[in-house]
Amino acid sequence: MQNTATDMVVATTITGVRESVANARAMGSTIGFVPTMGALHKGHLSLVERARKESSFTVMSIFVNPLQFAPTEDLAKYPRPVEDDERMARESGVDLLFRPAVEDMYPGKREVTVAAGEIASEWEGSSRPGHFDGVLTVVAKLFNIVQPDITVFGRKDLQQAALVAAMIHDLNMPVRMIIAPIVREGDGLALSSRNRYLSDDDRRSALSLHSALQEIRRAFARGVTSTVELEQIGRSVHDLTPNVRLDYLAVVSPTSLARNDDVSKTSAAIVAARVGSTRLIDNMTIGGDDED
Ligand code: AMP
């Protein structure tokens, strides 16, 4: 039986999670897992909805993972609305919410980390050195703690999704990964926990990420297939937008994240930009419809 909005278990310890998952398995449940850093929004909840369709016991983790933040980044100020998060998780039908403390996930000195390979060499990987080693290490730990049958990640973080898929494959992890579509505001802005940092002016300028991706998609539909030309079309949108500093914009393979000359309808346009002081990312399949 699925949870009906009241009986969510909240575990703060690894032992507590293992017990709760073992009980669910003993009742014949399959385990679905949605890892997050909290500050939940409808994007996160869409992953829960998908996990509930694909499994019978849904686990969500909320953990702001220090290992994936550089010293200069927003670890300390990353939003942690604990009560709202718990309410939203409960209302969305999460069965078990895992909210570990940093000391429980990283007690003392660590000898072993997961090292991301070539997929991490550019884009978020070069803008945020060490970020993906931190992501993969915590995801591997969470998989070992929860031992899910399936896991749902968002396409919003395309490079992260590609790396987690590669880790599952390369390390023979017994979990099936689902990559769910990007949830957007009505005007196209991709939902993100960091959107709450945006001022009204920033919020308007932030739309340029989505607009640039759409321009690329339109150009591809018109028959433009040169990577360079498509990228230039996207960049020109940003050049016209106040308050936006482009970090990268590229047309890449959605699995290797490599830029190459063979653009196809499954190629992804990816973008990262600083809007005011907030760094945002977005992406789109260039041959897709408006679904993502
Ligand atoms: P985060 O809490 O930002 O680490 O994100 C947790 C998960 O939610 C990741 O798999 C993200 O890709 C996913 N996610 C974040 N924003 C969205 C969105 N707008 N639509 C769909 N999934 C999202």
User: For residue 253, which of 182, 159, 127, 170 has the smallest C-alpha distance?
Assistant: 159
159 in ligand 1 pocket by Cβ < 6 Å? no
Residue bearing the CA closest to ligand 1, atom 17? 43
Tell me the pLDDT of the chain (292 aa) as tens digits. Answer: 444 445 999 999 999 999 999 999 999 999 999 999 999 999 999 999 999 999 999 999 999 999 999 999 999 999 999 999 999 999 999 999 999 999 999 999 999 999 999 999 999 999 999 999 999 999 999 999 999 999 999 999 999 999 999 999 999 999 999 999 999 999 999 999 999 999 999 999 999 999 999 999 999 999 999 999 999 999 999 888 889 999 999 999 999 999 988 899 999 999 999 999 999 999 999 998 655 5
Distance 226 CA to ligand 1 centre (A): 30
- Indicate the Cα dihedral angle 188, 193, 197, 202, nearest 10°: -10
Entry pTM: 0.96
pLDDT at position 228 is: 97
| Catalytically active residues, by annotation | 44
pLDDT in tens, 172-210: 999 999 999 999 999 999 999 999 999 999 999 999 999
pLDDT at position 1 is: 45
Query: Which of 157, 196, 281 to mutate for ligand 1's pocket (most ligand atoms within 8 Å of CB)?
Result: 157
Residue 256 structure tokens: 């290797």
pLDDT at position 292 is: 52
Distance 262 CA to ligand 1 centre (A): 28
Distance CA 62, CA 12 (A): 10
Residue 57 structure tokens: 């016991």
Distance CA 172, CA 142 (A): 15
Those residues with Cβ within 8 angstroms of residue 18's Cβ, 6 or more apart along the chain or in another chain: 145
Query: Which of 45, 84, 156 to mutate for ligand 1's pocket (most ligand atoms within 8 Å of CB)?
Result: 156
